């Protein structure tokens, strides 16, 4: 008996990289899987039914159950249609993994509206569409698990990714909101910030020696290292865990803290710009968050 035996999982971006690894492990652990992937290029252009169909074929070859969907999750009605296909094929839905994404990296002053809106649409709107499509079902069956992919680019920062950072941090807010609203119906919603070598990571420019060494470290981490935590969070064994942010880096699993006040100051006579100028830097300066990138914070080699 696998940890998700008898459950039905929908995995977006399930045809390649992390999504493929998650789809395969879900099936190995007993779930029936809807592999959703439009087969687009990294920037979201084009389409190919091949990746989703290949993962379905691999699952079936191993004795598992799976169907493919090439519907684009950016369109709200497609979320409903994907869920309907799961219900038609397997009779229920228990887990949604929001993994699909694209990249349009640009330094901010050169970022176009389409660079911004297309990335937001796939990551954030797509995640909303899939979550919303199952919300009523999860409520009625009084159970369900959602796993959303965020990124340390959003949680910490990176150059040339204001669109991606905004989308990935927005997913944290979406996931937390779902966790709060749906807890009364035993629905869990969590985030994972994955470290794994994939098309997205492979597109990061490496010009300096430090950047090249960072990419070398990332190449050690395969998508298969992410899948176990995704499957665990989708299982009943993760009961009571909701609204959290995790990260996986090779053999390391991290729990992230979340934004809370860390310092305060007050004046009984209130504040003016001049008074703030006199006091704010001295009071808050040592605690201001530095402009770090993800690689600055995760500076040690993967374990």
pLDDT in tens, 248-293: 999 999 999 999 999 999 999 999 999 999 999 999 999 999 999 9
**CA separation for the pair 135, 112 (Å, rounded):** 33
pLDDT band at 105 (very low <50, low <70, confident <90, very high): very high
Which residues make Cβ contacts (< 8 Å) with residue 225, sequence separation at least 6? Answer: 196, 248, 250, 251
The mean pLDDT value for 62-89 works out to: 98
pLDDT in tens, 153-208: 999 999 999 999 999 999 999 999 999 999 999 999 999 999 987 655 655 666 77
- What pLDDT sits at residue 216? 73
Q: Which domains does the chain have, with CATH numbers?
A: 8-258 (3.40.50.720)
- What pLDDT sits at residue 219? 75
Q: What is the CA radius of gyration of the chain?
A: 20
pLDDT of 113 strictly over 60: yes
pLDDT in tens, 219-256: 778 999 999 999 999 999 999 999 999 999 999 999 99
Both tokens of residue 17?
A: 């990289």
Collapsing DSSP states into helix, strand and coil, what is residue 271?
coil
- How much is the mean pLDDT over the chain? 94
The mean pLDDT value for 72-89 works out to: 98
pLDDT of 106 strictly over 90: yes
| Helical axes 17-28 vs 50-61, angle rounded to 10° | 20
- What pLDDT sits at residue 192? 98
Question: Catalytic annotation on 232?
Answer: no
**CA separation for the pair 157, 293 (Å, rounded):** 5
- What pLDDT sits at residue 302? 85
The mean pLDDT value for 142-153 works out to: 98
Percent of the chain whose predicted confidence (pLDDT) is above 70? 96
21 and 10 Cβ atoms separated by less than 8 Å: no
Which residues make Cβ contacts (< 8 Å) with residue 136, sequence separation at least 6? Answer: none
- What pLDDT sits at residue 261? 97
- What pLDDT sits at residue 212? 73
Percent of the chain whose predicted confidence (pLDDT) is above 90? 86
* Catalytic-role residue among 90, 164, 195, 298: 164
- What pLDDT sits at residue 198? 62
**CA separation for the pair 197, 246 (Å, rounded):** 18
**CA separation for the pair 165, 99 (Å, rounded):** 15
3 and 235 Cβ atoms separated by less than 8 Å: yes
């Amino acid at each position: 008996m696998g940890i998700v035996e008898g459950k039905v999982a929908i995995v977006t971006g399930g045809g390649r990289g992390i999504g493929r690894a998650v789809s395969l492990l879900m099936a190995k652990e007993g779930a029936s899987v809807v592999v959703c992937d439009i087969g687009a290029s990294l920037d979201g252009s084009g389409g190919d039914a091949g990746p989703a169909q290949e993962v379905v074929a691999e699952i079936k070859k191993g004795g598992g159950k799976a169907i493919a969907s090439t519907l684009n999750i950016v369109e709200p009605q497609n979320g409903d249609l994907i869920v309907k296909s799961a219900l038609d094929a397997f009779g229920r839905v228990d887990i949604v993994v929001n993994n699909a994404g694209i990249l349009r990296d640009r330094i901010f002053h050169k970022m176009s509206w389409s660079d911004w809106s297309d990335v937001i649409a796939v990551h954030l709107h797509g995640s909303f569409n899939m979550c919303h499509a199952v919300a009523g079902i999860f409520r009625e069956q009084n159970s369900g698990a959602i796993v959303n992919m965020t990124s340390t680019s959003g949680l910490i920062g990176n150059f040339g990714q204001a669109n991606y950072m905004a989308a990935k941090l927005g997913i944290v807010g979406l996931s937390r909101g779902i966790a709060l609203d749906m807890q009364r119906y035993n629905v869990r919603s969590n985030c994972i910030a994955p470290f794994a070598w994939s098309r997205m990571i492979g597109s990061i420019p490496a010009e300096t020696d430090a950047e090249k060494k960072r990419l070398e470290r990332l190449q050690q981490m395969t998508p298969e290292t992410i899948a176990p935590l995704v499957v665990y969070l989708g299982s009943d064994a993760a009961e009571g865990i909701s609204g959290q942010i995790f990260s996986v880096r090779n053999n390391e699993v991290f729990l992230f803290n979340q934004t809370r006040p860390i310092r305060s100051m007050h004046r009984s006579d209130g504040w003016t710009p001049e008074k703030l100028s006199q006091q704010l830097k001295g009071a808050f300066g040592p605690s201001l968050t530095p402009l770090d990138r993800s690689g600055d914070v995760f500076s040690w080699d993967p374990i």
